[in-house]
Amino acid sequence: MSGASGGAQLADLQARNLPRHVAVIMDGNGRWATERGLPRWRGHREGMRAVRRTVEAALELGIENLTLYAFSVENWSRPEEEVGALMHLLKEFVEREIDELCRQGVRTRVFGDRERLPAAAQSSVQVLESGTAAGTRLNLNVAISYGSRDEIASAARRLATLAAEGRLDPSDIDVARFSEELYTAGWPDPDLLVRTSGEMRVSNFMLWQIAYAEIHVTPVLWPEFGRDDLFAAVADYQGRERRFGGVTS
């Protein structure tokens, strides 16, 4: 579903319940490149352009929180050349986008195990976060070196340590208290999870936070994802009946 005819229209989408938080598993960069006889990093570079289009579309719709899965803990096992290209792209992304993100009021944060990032990438992240900290229109959260199981295990470890030190009563550990230990503390949970390239997996992404997210899978490869695709995902979401485990009203 795309284009002027048949595509979801901006005004119609805005007139209905917008997801407050959209999370995206950006997948298919490698296939996009391979199909064209290009090296995989070219797919990632094209994927960076899709990030720009998606941010623009989220701003246009008025979505408040957009979270993108850019690099998983498992991705560290990819060939050194590809990992290096992705780290370089992160730096390039910051250099190319920071002014526009500031101008558009996009507060950008990175979450994940940033200690594992090379020093240059860590300082790019620092520049990006501090440079865009005043943004209030859209929170753009980028998962880098992120793994949901690690995130949950670290949270459990911290709570267990506090309990062992007598600083936390185990009976006070509930969903809200546990959530405070996650990278996403204070963020609303994703309402809509989008995955590109047709794969029906959640790939260790925000497992705690997507408990009640609606899932939209599109066959579109991430480098080709754009405004119409985000609009189609939101239209799909708006057609769902969310029950959060309750009964139909």
CB of 162 to ligand FPP, least distance (A): 34
Give the list of residues 6+ apart from residue 229 with CB closer than 8 angstroms, or none. Answer: 2, 196, 218, 220
For 45, 103, 115, 208, 228, the CA distances from 76, given in Å and listed in that order, are 18, 33, 13, 22, 32
Catalytic, out of 17, 29, 75, 172: 75
Minimum distance between the CB of residue 156 and ligand FPP, rounded to whole angstroms?
27
Of all residues in the shown chain, the one whose CB is closest to ligand FPP is 30
Residue nearer to ligand FPP on the CB measure, 70 or 138: 70
Catalytic status, residue 99: no
| Contact positions vs ligand FPP (CB under 6 A) | 26-31, 44, 47-48, 51, 70-71, 75, 89-90, 93, 142, 197, 222
Active site residue 75: yes
Smallest separation (angstroms) from ligand FPP to the CB of 140: 9
In the complex with ligand FPP, the residue whose CB is nearer, 19 or 47, is 47
Distance CA 139, CA 142 (A): 10
CA–CA distance, 232 with 45 (Å, rounded to integer): 24
CB of 185 to ligand FPP, least distance (A): 22
Catalytic, out of 27, 191, 229, 236: 27
Q: Which is nearer to ligand FPP, 34 or 161 (CB)?
A: 34
Roughly what angle, to the nearest 10 degrees, separates helices 40-61 and 227-238? 60
Our CB check for ligand FPP shows the closer of 18 and 55 to be 55
- Please enumerate in sequence order all residues whose Cβ is within 8 A of that of 165, keeping only pairs 6 or more positions apart, or say none: none
Distance CA 100, CA 96 (A): 8
Judge whether 206 and 184 are in contact, CB under 8 Å: yes
**Catalytic annotation, residues:** 27, 75
